[in-house]
Chain A
């Protein structure tokens, strides 16, 4: 019975306060759309970045003619280096075989001898701190150039360049998405707050009477909170509907044909819809709350 009263009052207020409610609803709709597009994209790029990270390795190339004892000693030294997860030995013969498999038509027969060195492949614990391993095994000497920490090391390399590019691209996507979403969330809160402020103004007689006859604070506030949440919910539902239409008519047919389009490791649509609706209601509740705190005191 109470709930019926609140919803009835909220609806009355909404219909009398249509323009600002519409503006707030459209902003929330936009926010939800942006979130709905960016959440899967950020997830996909994050998982791509994680894959790149897991492929980060450091190659320690050995000098020629290193004795087996020295190799063992070097292996132990590498294993003791901080941030090293795993060390794998690849002999020059294996390396050549791998290269041949990877590029079968490269004309390896033209090479008289095997140019590839024996190699330790080092997997780091934390791919973002791979440089530490390089610095430990291949430090910068007094002449400003790098030298092997022990004579057995000829050179140390990692695929730092590539990795950095991909990782910074993903973080740009993330920062952009977060910035845009942040701005839109802020705008939504502000517009809901404004809607509720106008609604309080439009209903100031009611509020005055309610105070006069001794309605409790929450009895006065609930209709406004519900009004705000209805605005948020409508925006959210519309956004979910639009996203679903786009997904159903464009993305799904595409992803049947191209594996690329079906984003792996991303949130399922029902979960996404729930997240969006939840955030819309939360945003509008915050918006109404802000105004009620400012304008509706006993």
Chain B
């Protein structure tokens, strides 16, 4: 069995007790009074302050246009705040020189609704490409790519092209790409936005599993039903302001990913046809 998978299985079992234990007291992400006004004058975020601790799983919810994507893009420093500060691992990312931005992004995995895969490259090549462009050696690429694709359950589709895959499979490739270097922070913007409920549960389970390895996860979504069932911390935005931040008492840190999936399927009324992993 591959190293990554062994490692993750081990952490999965160890659950809350191991290195992956949530430490909400150590902020990985902190927004201090952040406002983002776009050039056109529309308000993305309006005086938002929040702290997200290491290992947390946080949902960012709210209606379309409430500022979820703005928040994600601020965190990956694709946008700079109009006022206020964004801290990642204690560093004000508005102040790091633009030369250092690529290195910040190497420590943040990002997943989008539209997957952002390269259509003319195979599954394997898509993930390998993201390692090539940050200068990884061929050797480590050959080691890491099959490993991560096995983790997301795609080891039989290495040579398929994206248009030969289902939406859920494409999203798995994009998650593999985001997580191949095991970044401490994973951002997902509507990762299940294009997927049916059953496929969405599989994707959420995968993201949950990544979270169980100690990676802090922020998922923006407007899938209220899914969020309510998952019982994680929920930050709700409306018109760019935080209207709800439930450090959910519903949190069950010792739940395994399998138990999690079974419970979710039950609560969402989707049949359990067996776990692909």
Kindly specify which of B102-110, B152-160, B250-258 makes contact with the partner chain.
Answer: B102-110
* B267 adjacent to chain A (CB < 8 Å): no
Kindly supply a per-residue 1/0 record for chain A positions 190-209, scoring 1 wherever the CB is within 8 Å of any chain B CB and 0 otherwise. 00000000000000011011
Decide: B106 and A213 in contact? CB cutoff 8 A: yes
The majority secondary structure among interface residues of chain A is helix
**A interface residues with partner B (beta carbon < 8 Å):** 1-2, 5, 205-206, 208-217, 219-220, 298
Chain B, residues 66-106, CB within 8 Å of chain A (1/0): the string is 00000000001010000000000000000000110111111
- List the 6 closest pairs (A to B, CB-CB), nearest first: A214-B105, A214-B106, A215-B133, A213-B130, A214-B102, A216-B102
Which chain B residues lie closer than 8 Å to A217 at the CB level? 99, 102
Choose one: A2, A206, A298; the contact of B135 (CB below 8 Å): A2
Pair B105/A212 contact, Cβ less than 8 Å: yes
Q: How many residues of B contact A (CB 8 A)?
A: 24
Contacts of B102 in A (CB 8 A): 214-217, 298
Give every chain A residue within 8 A of B130 (Cβ-Cβ).
Answer: 209, 212-213
Q: Can you list 8 A-B pairs, Cβ within 8 angstroms, ordered by A?
A: A205-B119, A206-B118, A209-B129, A215-B102, A215-B134, A216-B135, A298-B101, A298-B102
CA distance A4 to B201 in the complex (A): 41
Q: Does B137 have its Cβ within 8 Å of any Cβ on chain A?
A: yes
Whether B118 lies near A212 (C-beta < 8 A) is no
Contact B135 A212 (CB under 8 A): no
For B131, the closest partner residue in chain A by CB is A213
B105 with A1: CB separation less than 8 A:
no
Q: How far is the CA of A1 from the CA of B140 in the complex (A)?
A: 13
Distance between A293 CB and nearest chain B CB, rounded to angstroms: 14
Which of A1, A205, A212, A213 neighbours the largest number of chain B CB atoms within 10 Å of its CB?
A213
Residue among B105, B119, B133, B177 facing the most chain A CB atoms (10 A cut-off): B133
* A129 shortest CB reach to chain B, Å: 56
Q: Are A213 and B177 in contact (CB under 8 A)?
A: yes
A5 CA to B177 CA, complexed, in Å = 19
Decide if B118 touches A219 in the complex (CB within 8 Å). Answer: no
Q: Considering only CB atoms, which chain A residue lies closest to B76 in the complex?
A: A212
Assess A212 versus B110: contact at CB under 8 Å? Given A205-B116, A217-B102, A298-B101: yes
